Amino acid sequence: MKIPFSDLKKGFENKHYKFSAKDLKLNSIFFSHDIIDFYLSVISKNDEFQINGILHSKLLEKCDRCLDQFIKNCKFPLKILLSNRKNSDNHFDVIPFNQLKEFFNFRDIIREIMIIERPFKTLCKNDCNGLCKECGKNLNKTQCKCESKSLNSPWEKLKNL
């Protein structure tokens, strides 16, 4: 997704962009809808650009407990500083840019954000019951008649405290 530097120099607030998820070429992330919404705000100061934004996407996920597929609405924050100077501002990731180019391409930044910001563990719902350890049935949909076997664990006596 390319944005002209002329637009960045003017600055803007909550400008809406749409782009195709296919352009990101993410093999490990699956989208339920191809369109990703991107809202950007830019403050231009002394050839530096403070950029805040939010990515909205719908991911096709698989629950880590029950293995069902579900659609997850995701919001990924973006907070960067485009600069050619070395800056120690801790609130922004500083990204150098070439002033001779006509556009700035956000594709690689968006790819990284989507990979880094995705949760490590995905659940279809917070109180997902998962699968039965004995028969493998999805306990969110049906109840099984399996008896849970007590394990002889060295920690078993702590339950009585």
pLDDT confidence tier of residue 82, bands split at 50, 70 and 90: confident
Mind listing the pLDDT tens digit for each residue in 16-57? 999 888 888 888 888 888 899 999 999 988 778 888 999 999
- Can you point out the beta strands (E) in the chain? 2-4, 12-20, 35-45, 48-62, 69-82, 93-95, 103-105
- pLDDT for res 71: 93
Q: Quick one: pLDDT band at residue 80, thresholds 50, 70, 90?
A: confident
For 99-149, what is each residue's pLDDT tens digit?
Answer: 677 888 888 888 888 888 888 899 999 999 999 988 889 999 998 888 765
Q: What is the CA radius of gyration of the chain?
A: 23
Q: What's the CA gap between 144 and 131, in Å, rounded?
A: 10
- Of the candidates 53, 49, 104, the one whose C-alpha atom is nearest the C-alpha of residue 81 is 49
Amino acid at residue number 118: R
What does pTM read for this prediction? 0.71
pLDDT at res. 84: 73
